[in-house]
């Protein structure tokens, strides 16, 4: 009975996913079907690419099936891969960077490579390509830039006697000193994070050019830089200079939009949240991340996705041409990304596309700083570090360890516990 129920559920889910596509996957030689999510972010970027490609292919149509989230796409690939039948898939899917390598390994028939596409891969940062390049083969065309920024309220810094230059290229110890001073003089914290999905340790380690993983295993215990980073977060939380929110909504609505913090460090996709407070226009600026020993600017990334051709695509040449011309840095890349930025806030991963006049415009909200051009430049410097399919599992257990350490538990003991739990889940 259980097997029958599981089979019926799988069939129902397949039909549901097919219905969500809103099309019969028309094979007219000019149409490509796509699964993607986020009507305010990724979908405008895809529509911008469609319009750009239509300049050279007037009959081209992108049939976009908007999913409720990335998990819908992951589920579609899992069902197709598990069943051995890819016929329910669209031609192209948007897929999260952190998950792609395991999905290609587990379900190789679900994907087709981008080898042979007219894409200058040197026009992208090495870190971004490290996700979608598997055994030396390119599978994905990068879409959204996940480069991390550290944004500060310059008016709050000024009240405490500091400038954005004082926050650039500094050590985390110096950052803690300034943060305590800012807190004492203005009442503002200088950083916050959603602690239910705490990305601070990952970004801080990447800014060092280091990873939480070593040779495919969690590397928490005995990892001296990692331990120092955890100590910074714990100290900031105890000082009240780093606010660890209990949820994503608390992080966004209370700490950022609610004006509890004068600093935000995250992937640049956090910018629209920062900009929700109209009264703060002209009072923000962005820079790079601090590092443990200073003397350099820290570069990291958090989040991001790429477009992949599925095993069901019958017109692979058209798909490659479309991706190369638009997101891949071809003749339509600037038009694609200029409009994607205007309409959805999507920032290019393609370095040359980030040189357009639109990207070079000073942004009033950020005091006239050309933040989008700066972000593309920063993205080119993000170091490649070891990644792992259990990235989010590690994030959960490290977050729990941080909570316990703040409450008085021993740091080494907690890191050992977190490492043991991740290793257990990895089997």
Same domain as 170, residue 75: no
Tens-place pLDDT, residues 222-247: 999 999 999 999 999 999 999 999 99
User: Which of 355, 371, 398 is at the close of a domain?
Assistant: 355
CATH code for the domain of 388: 3.40.190.10
Report CA-CA distances (Å) from 423 to 177, 225, 397, 419. 36, 20, 11, 6
232, part of any domain: yes
Q: What's the domain range around 219?
A: 148-300+384-426
Q: Which ranges of the chain have pLDDT less than 50?
A: 1-24
pLDDT of residue 286: 98
**Is 378 among the domain residues?**
no
Q: Is residue 371 part of a domain?
A: no
Residue 139 and residue 153 in one domain: no
Q: What is the pLDDT of residue 26?
A: 54
Asked if the structure places residue 45 within a domain, the reply is yes
Same domain, 64 and 155: no
Q: Looking at the structure, do residues 123 and 106 belong to the same domain, yes or no?
A: yes
Residues 293 and 338 in one domain: no
pLDDT reported for residue 303: 84
Handedness of CA 199, 197, 275, 147 (dihedral sign): positive
354: closest CA among 207, 168, 145, 146? 145
> Does one domain contain both 14 and 61?
yes
CA 83 – CA 77 distance, rounded (Å): 10
128 φ, ψ to 5°? -60, -45
What is the total count of domains within the chain?
A: 2
Indicate whether 33 and 83 sit together in one domain: yes
Indicate whether 107 and 139 sit together in one domain: yes
Same domain, 296 and 395: yes
| 235 part of a folded domain | yes
Rg of the chain on CA atoms, in Å = 22
Residue 189 within a domain: yes
Q: Are residues 12 and 100 in the same domain?
A: yes
Kindly state whether residue 374 falls inside one of the protein's structural domains. no
**Co-location of 22 and 50 in the same domain:** yes
Same domain, 85 and 125: yes
Query: Does some domain include residue 351?
Result: yes
């Amino acid at each position: 009975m259980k097997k029958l129920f599981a089979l019926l559920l799988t069939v129902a889910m397949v039909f549901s996913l097919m219905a969500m596509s809103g099309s019969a996957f028309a094979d007219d030689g000019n149409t490509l079907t796509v699964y993607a999510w986020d009507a305010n972010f990724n979908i405008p970027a895809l529509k911008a690419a469609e319009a750009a490609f239509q300049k050279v292919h007037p009959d081209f149509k992108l049939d976009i099936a908007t999913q409720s989230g990335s998990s819908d796409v992951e589920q579609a690939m899992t069902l197709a891969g598990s069943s051995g039948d890819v016929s329910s898939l669209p031609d192209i899917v948007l897929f999260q960077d952190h998950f792609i390598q395991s999905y290609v390994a587990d379900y190789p028939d679900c994907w087709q490579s981008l080898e042979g596409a007219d894409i200058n891969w040197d026009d992208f940062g090495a870190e971004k390509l490290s996700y979608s390049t598997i055994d030396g083969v390119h599978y994905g065309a990068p879409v959204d830039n996940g480069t991390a920024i550290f944004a500060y309220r310059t008016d709050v810094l000024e009240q405490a006697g500091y400038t954005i230059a004082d926050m650039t290229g500094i050590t985390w110890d110096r950052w803690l000193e300034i943060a305590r001073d800012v807190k004492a003089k203005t009442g503002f914290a200088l950083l916050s994070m959603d602690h239910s999905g705490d990305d601070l340790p990952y970004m801080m380690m990447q800014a060092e050019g280091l990873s939480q993983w070593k040779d495919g295993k969690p590397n928490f215990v005995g990892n001296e830089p990692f331990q120092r980073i955890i100590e910074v977060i714990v100290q900031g939380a105890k000082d009240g200079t780093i606010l660890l929110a209990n949820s994503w909504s608390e992080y966004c609505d209370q700490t950022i939009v609610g004006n509890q913090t004068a600093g935000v460090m995250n992937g640049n996709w956090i910018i629209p949240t920062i900009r929700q407070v109209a009264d703060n226009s002209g009072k923000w600026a962005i820079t790079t991340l601090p590092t443990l020993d200073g003397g350099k600017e820290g570069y990291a990334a958090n989040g991001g996705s790429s477009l992949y051709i599925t095993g069901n695509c019958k017109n692979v040449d058209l798909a490659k041409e479309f991706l190369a011309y638009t997101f891949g840095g071809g003749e339509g890349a600037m038009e694609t990304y200029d409009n994607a930025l205007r309409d959805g806030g999507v920032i290019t991963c393609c370095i040359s596309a980030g040189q357009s006049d639109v990207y070079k415009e000073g942004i009033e909200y950020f005091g006239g700083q050309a933040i989008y051009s700066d972000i593309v430049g920063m993205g080119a410097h993000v170091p490649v570090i070891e990644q792992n399919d259990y990235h989010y599992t590690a994030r959960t257990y490290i977050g729990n360890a941080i909570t316990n350490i703040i409450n008085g538990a021993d740091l080494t003991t907690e890191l050992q516990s977190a490492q043991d739990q991740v290793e257990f889940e990895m089997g």
